[in-house]
Structure 1
Amino acid sequence: MVERKAVIKNEAGIHCRPTAVITQEAAKVDAVIMILSPGGTCQLGSALDLMMLGLSQGTLVNIQVEGPDEEQVADQFRELFETEFDFPNAGLGG
């Protein structure tokens, strides 16, 4: 098992859009991925479980990965949790 720490950078936290991206990526890997946060712990796979952690901007999470290529998978999910998913709507309304 390997562990990575990540700080949520997305301004709105891990809401519906980032949750969808993260859980879709989790479905593609053959590993058990656990997210540990001040709001609780969940295994990646359920979008609802991830959203229930209430991960807001600045929250530190621990990502634990067990399985094949766990170093690479852990790095991949650290990057996902640190992604700024929300972008201004360029060109809309001015």
Structure 2
Amino acid sequence: MVSAKAVVTNSAGIHCRPSAKIVEEARDYPGTITVAHGNEATELGSVLELISLALEQGAEVSITVEGPDEERVCERFRELFETHFDFPDARSVGE
């Protein structure tokens, strides 16, 4: 088992689209990936469960990986939680 801390950097937090990308990548992993924030934790198998953690910009999460190639996988998910997902800003759409 390997664990790492990450700080959410996306300005809108981990909302639907980032959650979908994170969970999609987790589904390919044959082990278990768990994310914890405060007193809440979830395995990365459901977009809704990840969204339920209400991860806003600046939130610190703990990522735990159990399975093959744990260190590489843990580092990859730390990077995902610290990604500035470059989705279009809703205010700029239609300008």
| TM-score, normalising length: structure 2 | 0.90
Q: Unaligned stretches of 5+ in structure 2?
A: none
Q: How does 1:3-82 map to 2 (within 5 A)?
A: 3-38=3-38, 40-82=40-82
Cα distance in structure 2, aligned partners of 1:74 and 1:68: 11
C-alpha displacement at 1:86, in angstroms? 3.5
Which contiguous aligned blocks of 4+ residues in structure 1 show a shift greater than 6 angstroms?
Answer: none
Question: Is 1:83 matched with 2:83?
Answer: yes
- Does the aligned pair in 2 maintain the 1:63–1:77 contact within 8 Å? yes
Q: Unaligned stretches of 5+ in structure 1?
A: none
1:28–1:74 Cα change, 3 Å: same
C-alpha displacement at 1:92, in angstroms? 5.7
**Number of aligned pairs?**
93
Cα distance in structure 1, aligned partners of 2:47 and 2:76: 18
Identity %: 52
| TM-score, normalising length: structure 1 | 0.91
Cα distance in structure 2, aligned partners of 1:91 and 1:44: 31
